[in-house]
Structure 1
Amino acid sequence: MSLDFRLDGLEPADEQSANTYDCSWVHGYQTISRHDVGERSYIVAFDPAVTWGIPNMPNLVSFDVVRDSRQATFSMHSFEHVTLAFAQNWLVNRGCPPDALAPIIDAPKPADELTVRTEDRIRHSGGRLEVVERQAIDWGDLEGWSIAVDRQDEDLPVRLFLETLQPDQHTYTLREGAFADHAAADAWLENRSAPLPEAPEYRLDAEALRTSAALSRTPSAAPSTTPAFSAPAAAIVAQPDRGRSL
């Protein structure tokens, strides 16, 4: 689906917006997902022109378009990506609802639940993950990746997000590996001599799921004949929450 910014009768509000809009005519972007609210549009698009340029360059673009009908102007910002979830994250950080950018085209689907969880982590990560290197899935390739720095992890801050296509099934997988530094991530990409080191966030999730499953299988205790002490509701509400969210 060709990209329509819906800018009839509007002029760019600044030079940067004008340049971004002019480039769109050269690239011929195709819409992947879109969310419109009022005079604002959040868009993820595919750039088919990249196929004819330098191999493995970013081929996804996020657009944030704001129209001002009273001034008859628009502003437009954009950013390039190689992974759909990072393209969505950029727009979420600019105010788009996290679940409003599902693809509207017949794109490959996540192959498993872990892919869904990994994408959800990226979409909801805010500014926690900073992409520092990337390689897109290009013509004839079945794999692309992004290397990001996790600003909240001091031990394993370098994260490798590896995306792999399964064209026969029209699906893909996305996995996150954790490394102590950039050199270790580069070495893994070069050698592939061991499985991708699992990020600690997923180990914690797996442990929580196993604990929940075990508790659900535990027989309930027989009801006591002695009435249990019941604290007043006001006292319960007044207690501070000592739980920990992950």
Structure 2
Amino acid sequence: MLSPSEPASARKPLPAVEFDVDDLDADEEVSLDFYRQVEVRSDMLVPLAEHHAGVHSYYVLFDRTATWGHPGMPQYVAVHLLRDQEKETFTFEKELLPLPVMAQSWLIHRGCPAGAIALNPELGPPPADEATRALEQRLAGDGDHYAMGYSYSRDDPDDMVTVVALRALDERAASPFRVVVEEVDTDAWTHTLREGGFATVEEALQWCNDRLTGEAGPLPPVRLAASFTRPAALPKAPAPRPPGRSR
């Protein structure tokens, strides 16, 4: 969504994120964990979407520090807060994710209404086409049918791309491994999202590596399965060695 390459003419003052937990510090361990994991860099977190419902708060945040961290790091943070005003405490969950729609999906499957966590259209490139909008809508809803094994985010203005390799949680899925690719056109300031299906993890990871080195062919089509069930356990796919970072 946000990027150092965003046209200067399109830039506006960025909104600040407010967690409203300063008075809920009765549990010092939780408060310290939240500060270390989230709040310490709150001035660099941009709220792309947030929803508050009683004691629950849900956030999709863009982490502006990610671009200076380890190459390929996810740039989005999903946060779910649950407050207890009587005990003056709170609990939280947070996850680093490579795509905004994955952050939305993570929050939806933790109780956030799907229609309440739409992204702020002024804070990132809009979808370039209907295919992108349709895929984002579907991934937001069925994101818990997949487990992420690998991702790499590149914010080079000449090739701004994120690749994500996913594994279906249904062992009977016709395309058990998928690759989702987001590409940002920094001239038109729009983004596209596409997906492809693979029979093996090796094929999916190889396509990701080829895309990052400029050697990938077209994404193979996804073969759809009739239903989804979850297996008992899911090993993560090994990550290929990322290419050199371009800045």
TM-score (ref. length: structure 2) = 0.75
Question: For the residues of structure 1 that align with 2:102 and 2:61, how far apart are their CA atoms?
Answer: 13
TM-superposed deviation, 1:59: 1.0
Alignment CA distance shift 1:65-1:178 (3 Å): same
TM-superposed deviation, 1:16: 4.7
Q: Is the 8 A contact 2:80 2:94 kept in 1?
A: yes
Which of these residues, 18, 32, 38, is aligned with residue 24 of structure 1? Answer: 38
| Structure 1 partner of 2:241 | none
Q: State yes or no: 1:154 paired with 2:160.
A: no
Question: For the residues of structure 1 that align with 2:123 and 2:173, how far apart are their CA atoms?
Answer: 39
| Structure 1 partner of 2:21 | 7
Question: For the residues of structure 1 that align with 2:175 and 2:26, how far apart are their CA atoms?
Answer: 43
Q: Deviations over 1:142-183 (max 9, x none)?
A: 111111111234331000000000112221000010000111
| Structure 1 partner of 2:185 | 166
TM-superposed deviation, 1:199: 1.3
Larger RCO: 1 or 2 (CA < 8 Å, sep 6+): 2
Matched residue SS, 2:218: coil
Alignment CA distance shift 1:146-1:36 (3 Å): same
Q: Deviations over 1:196-238 (max 9, x none)?
A: 0121349xxxxxxxxxxxxxxxxxxxxxxxxxxxxxxxxxxxx
The aligned amino acid for 1:119 is E
Question: For the residues of structure 1 that align with 2:189 and 2:26, how far apart are their CA atoms?
Answer: 39
Which of these residues, 199, 205, 210, is aligned with residue 180 of structure 1? Answer: 199
| Structure 2 partner of 1:123 | 140
| Structure 2 partner of 1:240 | none
The aligned amino acid for 1:109 is P
Question: For the residues of structure 2 that align with 1:89 and 1:77, how far apart are their CA atoms?
Answer: 14
| Structure 2 partner of 1:208 | none
Structure 1: give runs of 5+ residues left out of the alignment.
Answer: 203-246
| Structure 1 partner of 2:222 | 199
Matched residue SS, 1:56: coil
Alignment CA distance shift 1:199-1:52 (3 Å): same
Q: Is the 8 A contact 2:163 2:208 kept in 1?
A: no
TM-superposed deviation, 1:195: 1.2
The aligned amino acid for 1:7 is V
| Structure 1 partner of 2:239 | none
Alignment CA distance shift 1:149-1:26 (3 Å): same
* Superposed counterparts of 1:1-246, under 5 Å: 1-11=15-25, 13=27, 15-16=29-30, 18-28=32-42, 29-104=45-120, 105-140=122-157, 141-152=159-170, 153-191=172-210, 192-201=215-224
TM-superposed deviation, 1:12: 5.9
Question: For the residues of structure 2 that align with 1:36 and 1:193, how far apart are their CA atoms?
Answer: 42
Alignment CA distance shift 1:8-1:82 (3 Å): same
| Structure 1 partner of 2:3 | none
Question: For the residues of structure 2 that align with 1:84 and 1:55, how far apart are their CA atoms?
Answer: 18
TM-superposed deviation, 1:20: 2.5
The aligned amino acid for 1:65 is L
Q: Percent identity?
A: 31
Q: Is the 8 A contact 1:35 1:100 kept in 2?
A: yes
The aligned amino acid for 2:139 is I
The aligned amino acid for 1:92 is I
TM-score (ref. length: structure 1) = 0.76
